[in-house]
Chains A and B, each alone.
Chain A
Amino acid sequence: MQDILNRPADASSNALRALLTSPRIPERLRAELLRRAAPDDPAYEPRALSDAQLDALRALASRILPQDGDEPIDLAARLDAMMAEATGNGWRYEALPSDPDAYRYGLDTLDDLAKALGASRFAGLSGGEQDELLRRVQAGEARGGEGRPRRLDAAQLALWFEEVRSDAVRLFVAHPAIMARLGYSGPLDGHEGGPAFAGFDAVGIGERESFEPLLPGEGAP
């Protein structure tokens, strides 16, 4: 927490600090946001995936959610942890295996498809080539895993790519730095539950509470 709160005062770290220290956040949520804000371990060892699969997932995650900042969130490591804890979402497509297996087979299939393009693996393709391949995946046209064990066929690959987009983006916007960048006020709805619950009053179009972040184009109050 100290690291996060003592960073140099630029606009983004100010916004993050304001969110994490707001008196309006419930303490359970503040603790969780601080946990999410902690820097990722650069030496993270995968728990559900192989090293090669984690490499492919890092490449994939950076195509789904490109991050320009100097402290990108390691979405692949967080996805691997999610798979290792098998915290599913209560359902899966009949056409796909369990979530961790879908990740393993999907990432291996991406590596296979990259090899067919002459690269050593998915992470070895250029960004543009990765995007081109992912466009075929999304369209259900990336054939290669058809009929092969522990691989995904074109239709499965399209469904799995949807799952990865969903998992990755939920982790991304749950990160307090992203909430702060968007000027998101959801966590500021009140410190206490029960009869003392604060909530919001200014909820109409263009209305802003004094404690909500200013958005681009909005003047100071």
Chain B
Amino acid sequence: MNLDRMRRYAETETVDVVVIGTGAGGAPLLARLAAAGLTVVALEAGANRDPATEFVPDEAMSADLYWMNERVSGGKTPEAFGANNSGVGVGGSTLHWGAFVPRADARDLRLKTETGKGEDWPLSFSDLLPYYEEVERFIGVSGPANYPWDADRRYPLPPVKRNAPAQAMIAGCEALGVKASDGPVAVVSEPYAVGGIPARVPCRNCGYCHQGCRNGAKTSMDVTYLPLGLGHGAEIRPNSFVHGFERDRQGRITAVLYRQGEVEKRQRCAAVFLCAGAVETPRLLLVNDLANSSGQVGRNYTAHVATQVWGTFDKPMRMNKGYPSAIITEDMVRPKDADFAGGYLVQSLGVVLQTWSDQVARGRGLWGRDLVRYLDRYNWTAGIGINGESLPSEENRLTLSDEKDATGLPKPLIRYSEGENEARLKRHAVAFMRQVWEAAGASDIWVLERTAHTIGTCRMGTDPDRAVVDPFGRSFDTPNLWICDNSVFPSSLAANPALTIMALSLRAADRFLDRAAPTAVGQA
């Protein structure tokens, strides 16, 4: 994005707020706080990019969109990081995200009350609703005129074009009597203009969302909240890796320490919003022994169950084309025959060639002639996949390893093991997706086990002994430190996290500004 005419602050000036990270957590609140007249500086570990000239439709050439400092992944179901879920750069993970933006289901926020398992969130759906509506309007969400699972919901733009996997999922669900719909997608399907930022051109169905959008149709923070923040006088400093803090005798943060290349720098500030994601946020806190009197930092690391089912069709699908996951069903958020707590969302899947081939070689376990023959079927295949609840567990934990990475900090060690609830949910989901794909006419069906997203490690709550931050994201220990990213989630929810992160971001900013929450248009 263009940073040329940005306002700049001196490092010696005590700015009102330093924001660490410019993704879905940091960007909305940056804009909100700057608009309120606060002096705000964002420190971003990654580079500033020019999407129109730098992004290309090729996975191997897109590696610099991802957090590539090595993480160590253990436990019974070790999670893949890098391209799977971890971004870097001005815009954070929204540069590579899939832009699929379901709202949280109200029942998922009260899972413990409902089932005795998992955790309740220390807020209700009606607290989130006005922020969901505001975010959806501002970032430009495309979706159906009538959302089958919520009669009051309205999206500002019509759906994106259905690609071949989307058509297959609609056909399969119709045959089974399952409700399926165009999904809520943060990609503008028509020219879109909102106040305070440049107008955006519509999606051209290229299919390479995960390698960075080449025309800004996909919502990323660098085409939405960050330019809004800049317009209100915020500063964004790319290539600025935060590694420490200065504190006064009361424990309040007085300055943020960071490195630009080889140069050590220090920004004085009155408050900090830490928005670096569920791996870098807890790592920074653990390294600095900060905000952890509860002992909860790093605990309850969670990833969504993200199993996929793949099949081969009679007609060419060419699934590289089109928005990759255009169709949703929420019918499985609480399946009637479930033997597990929570539920899952289902979406259609088109995957580009290098990513798909990797999944085939790893997940289907093919090699030799079998692998070569199956790769030749690429243009006839399509997938369907879930995003499912995964219960938090104290034992799933991020700690600091004995090894150091290129930043000089200890590499994070993440141990993650799915439990019995996840195994049951997965069994249910695989049986369901197989039925849909068989009904859609797929043959040679196979299952890809995977997990997605990074969640937990600094959970919010009302009890300082059991949580790291309060229900608005403010640290119990360090009163001028706020956390806003997926690390504050007390539980995974079935929904993909980014829309909820953005909603929480605006809510945290309003709380910081001591403002009342806005009122929702739709009904809770």
Q: List residues of chain A with CB under 8 Å of any chain B CB.
A: 26, 28-29, 32, 63-66, 87-95, 98, 131, 134, 138, 162, 165-166, 168-170, 172-174, 178-179, 181-187, 189-190, 192-195, 197-208, 212, 215, 217-218
Contact = CB atoms under 8 A, between A and B. Distances in A.
A201 B205 contact: yes
Contacts of B57: 26, 29, 186-187, 189
B215 interface: yes
Contacts of B391: none
Given A64-B368, A93-B73, A190-B214, A215 B83 contact: no
Given A94-B415, A205-B164, A197 B63 contact: no
A138 B322 CA distance: 35
Given A26-B56, A166-B361, A205-B164, A195 B81 contact: no
Contact of B206 (A64, A134, A184, A189): A189
B375 A174 contact: no
Given A64-B367, A200-B206, A186 B313 contact: no
Interface residues of B, number: 72
A89 B82 contact: yes
A189 B207 contact: yes
Contacts of B372: 65-66
Interface stretch (B64-72, B270-278, B419-427, B459-467): B64-72
Nearest to B69: A90
B72 A91 contact: yes
Contacts of A89: 63, 66, 68, 82-83
B315 A29 contact: no
B354 A190 contact: no
22 contacts: A28-B56, A65-B367, A66-B368, A66-B369, A88-B68, A89-B68, A89-B82, A90-B70, A90-B86, A91-B71, A91-B80, A93-B72, A98-B70, A170-B354, A172-B357, A174-B60, A186-B320, A187-B58, A197-B215, A200-B206, A203-B318, A205-B164
Given A172-B375, A202-B321, 12 more contacts: A26-B56, A90-B69, A165-B361, A165-B362, A169-B375, A186-B57, A193-B51, A203-B161, A203-B318, A204-B162, A206-B316, A215-B379
A82 B66 CA distance: 17
A184 B70 contact: no
Contact of B362 (A166, A179, A201, A212): A166
A32 B214 contact: no
B55 interface: yes
A94 B71 CA distance: 9
Given A197-B215, A208-B316, A174 B58 contact: yes
B354 A173 contact: yes
B383 to A, nearest CB: 14
A26 B52 CA distance: 10
A162 B164 contact: no
Given A90-B70, A179-B353, A182-B379, A193 B52 contact: yes
Interface in B14-65: 51-61, 63
A65 B371 contact: yes
A85 B358 CA distance: 20
A26 B376 CA distance: 25
A192 B207 CA distance: 15
Contacts of B318: 185, 203, 207-208, 212
Contacts of B365: 138, 162
Contacts, number: 205
Contact of B413 (A94, A162, A207, A217): A94
- Helix, strand, loop or mixed for chain A's interface? loop
Interface of B: 51-61, 63, 66-75, 78, 80-83, 86, 161-164, 167-168, 201, 203-208, 214-216, 313, 315-318, 320-322, 352-354, 357-358, 360-362, 365, 367-369, 371-372, 375-376, 378-379, 413, 415
Nearest to B53: A193
Nearest to A212: B318
Contacts of B203: 199
Contacts of A203: 161-164, 205, 318, 321-322
Nearest to B204: A199
B378 A184 contact: yes
Residue from A195, A205, A215 with most neighbouring chain B CB atoms (10 Å): A205
Given A64-B368, A197-B215, A87 B205 contact: no
A193 B215 contact: yes
Contacts of B313: 205
Contacts of B317: 205
B53 A91 contact: no
A170 B163 contact: no
B72 A174 contact: no
A204 B164 contact: yes
A141 B63 CA distance: 34
A208 B320 CA distance: 12
B440 to A, nearest CB: 10
Contact of B214 (A197, A205, A217): A197
